[in-house]
Amino acid sequence: MKHIKRYVHLISAAYKWRLICSSKKTPSLKIISCWLLACLAMPTHAAPVFTLNELTAAALKNNPTMSISRARQDAALAGLTTARAYTNPEIEFGAGPTRYRSGTSEVKSNWGLALSQPLEFGSLREARQSLAETGIQSAEVGSELTQTVLKNRVRSAFYQVIQRQSFLELVENDKKILEQILDKVSLRVKVGESPRYELIKAETELLTVERDYQSAKIRIEESKGMLRGLIGNSIPVQFELRGVLPSNSQLESLDSLQAKIPNSPFIRQAQQLSKSAEAKLRLEQQLRNPGLTLKAGVNQDPDLTSFRIGVAIPLPLWSRREGQIAEAAAGMMQAQSQLDNEDLTLQRELESGYQRYQIARQQLVAYESGLLARAESVLKVAESGYRYGESGILDYLDAQRTYRAVRKDHLAAVYDLVVSVLEIERLLGTELLEEKL
């Protein structure tokens, strides 16, 4: 799509060229050539470039899960309004004929009017409002958890694209070097300085790198599609990223990280669910004797008008809500058990994630402290030996392959470090990696 305008201009230029050629006053070839070159050199629109912070903000604004969380918060606020509302009064009216028992056939009319107002006890209203308030807090913590998970997924997808782009750059550089090697080997085989199997070996190496190059390009598009799926249509299909993999992340000790578990959104959500279960149990207990009903009415008979004021109190004789209370008590025990299980799960996963971080850190130190330099040194020695005829192409290609493998493993170690830190971020609900542009 980004080249459509350019193609339109080129077609228009070709049509104008035809008109010029068909006219009698044809300009000089130099002017026409310059004009065509200007048309071909027309600038195209470059793909937009996004940073991690920009993509995170776009995801929090456009991802449907955030809309769902906001809707849940609105529903919880509406639930509090419902809990604070009073029960509506009831008005009752009736009328009908009256016949006297004295035997007379005279028929007269009568009517009655009654008004009822249910009144809840204060403890019941307090329990209902407490349940609604815990629902609001649960919705807020759930929204925070959704936001934390979404941000973590965006960060993970972002760094996956960066890692695959870095891998593509490595493979692209290897491809250029092997193409140069293939040209040199082809020339030496052509003049008879090298046997043909060296050319076959160089071609095989180039085909392997070409395969990795094409695969890397496809993987980049795949990871970009996953990243765009988290954000939505607010970003175009074709886009670029600006950022690098942070390779020098230093985490605190495991004890310090474990001390932050109580502030994890997973723990706080489980705590709010436990509080909601407790409030539900209190509400069910208060509903055994919910309140009373005030009644007032007037009855008008043909010869008599009567007024009445009374109170109706429900008697918990046949049902004392044993089932509802037992169900709420079981729900409270389940919520408390889920809280304990969530704490144990976070402890276990945090320890496992920290061990993976330590392994990735040690591997990264090993690569940066010696392996990369040694592989590069071996490659330079092999290149010099091949250039001056002291060694064959096989030794040079083997050193090139080793250096390529070491660089790829180093990049994989950097990415493993980032992934382990991102997992700890998800568990604790905090950001430990700093964006680098």
List Cα–Cα distances, 152 to 69, 290, 424, in angstroms.
17, 47, 10
Task: Identify whether residues 14 and 156 lie together within a single domain.
Answer: no
Residue 357 lies in a domain: yes
Task: Identify whether residues 257 and 170 lie together within a single domain.
Answer: yes
- 85 pLDDT higher than 50: yes
Task: Identify whether residues 281 and 417 lie together within a single domain.
Answer: yes
Residue 233 is classified by DSSP as: T
What pLDDT digit, counting tens, does each position of 42-70 carry?
445 578 899 999 999 999 999 999 999 99
Task: Please report the pLDDT score of residue 436 as a whole number.
Answer: 62
Task: Identify whether residues 25 and 149 lie together within a single domain.
Answer: no
Number of domains in the chain: 2
Query: What is the CATH number for 51?
Result: 1.20.1600.10
Q: What does the alpha-carbon distance between residue 145 and residue 162 come to, in Å, rounded to a whole number?
A: 26
CA dihedral 100, 104, 106, 107 (to 10 degrees): 30
Residue 288 is classified by DSSP as: T
What pLDDT digit, counting tens, does each position of 191-228 carry?
877 778 778 888 888 898 899 899 999 999 999 999 99
Task: Identify whether residues 137 and 254 lie together within a single domain.
Answer: yes
Residue 87 lies in a domain: yes
What pLDDT digit, counting tens, does each position of 131-163 carry?
999 999 999 999 999 999 999 999 999 999 999
Task: Identify whether residues 342 and 412 lie together within a single domain.
Answer: yes
Task: Identify whether residues 31 and 58 lie together within a single domain.
Answer: no
Strands 291-300 and 107-120: antiparallel
Which residue in the block uniquely carries the two structure tokens 């050319």?
199
Task: Identify whether residues 123 and 252 lie together within a single domain.
Answer: yes
Residue 346 lies in a domain: yes
Task: Identify whether residues 305 and 173 lie together within a single domain.
Answer: yes
- 106 pLDDT higher than 60: yes
Residue 433 lies in a domain: no
Residue 98 lies in a domain: yes
17 compared with 68, residue with greater pLDDT? 68
Task: Identify whether residues 132 and 28 lie together within a single domain.
Answer: no
Q: What does the alpha-carbon distance between residue 181 and residue 382 come to, in Å, rounded to a whole number?
A: 13
Task: Please report the pLDDT score of residue 102 as a whole number.
Answer: 67
- 72 pLDDT higher than 70: yes
Residue 384 lies in a domain: yes
Which residue in the block uniquely carries the two structure tokens 């250039």?
387
- 258 pLDDT higher than 50: yes
List of residues 6+ apart from 107 with CB closer than 8 A:
97, 98, 99
Q: Which domain holds residue 354?
A: 46-313+320-428
- 3 pLDDT higher than 70: no
Task: Identify whether residues 27 and 111 lie together within a single domain.
Answer: no
